Amino acid sequence: MSDKQKATFGGGCFWCVEAVVQRLKGIKDVVSGYSGGQTKNPTYREICSGTTGHAEVIQVTFDSEVISYEDLITIFMTSHDPTTLNRQGADRGTQYRSIILYHDEDQKEVAERVLKGLKDSFTDPIVTEIVPLDTFYPAENYHQNYYNNNSYAGYCRVVISPKIKKLNQMYADRLREEVT
């Protein structure tokens, strides 16, 4: 039996977060998209302008009997830099902020507990937002499964591949055998 749940979070470019999370056991689906802003049905071009208020995020469907929400948030938090405000690496703007959009009060409590537990792991303060999910807008089709479809591209090789290498080193026991 499966206990499917959803989680929504972002830590910079959604291609990076998607590629990391897709490799975990218990993940059923990952959709890149936008959330946390005020513009209805935003496009990627609008998101890039930084004026929509939305962040690039992923929405994950996962089997909580295989991977807990707490473990998912812990892996997410250690796969990006949650101490940089509105940026990850060379990506700058509010659309690249570190954010957890909780679906219910239990998720909020878990996220707060995980961040509190990780605060001593970082030199600088964690700036990850924890806010309620309002609306999630799926990104355009060409953003979905981006790394798996474009692993040869420069951005993927330079930015995403090192994140996957780090994931493999830190969480080898949490990885699925193959990614689809």
Q: Is 174 exposed, middle or buried (0-12, 13-18, 19+ CB in 10 A)?
A: middle
Q: Which of 13, 16, 48, 156 is catalytic?
A: 13
Catalytic-residue membership of 13: yes
Residue at token pair 């193959």: 178
Distances (CA, A) of 141 to 32, 33, 146, 161, 162: 9, 10, 9, 22, 24
DSSP state letter for 84: S
- Residue 90, Cβ neighbours under 10 Å: how many? 11
CA distance 134 to 35: 8
Tell me how far apart the alpha carbons of residues 48 and 56 are, in angstroms, rounded to a whole number: 9
Q: How far apart are CA 54 and CA 48, in angstroms?
A: 10
Tell me the β-bridge partners of 8: 59, 101
Catalytic positions, written as ranges: 13
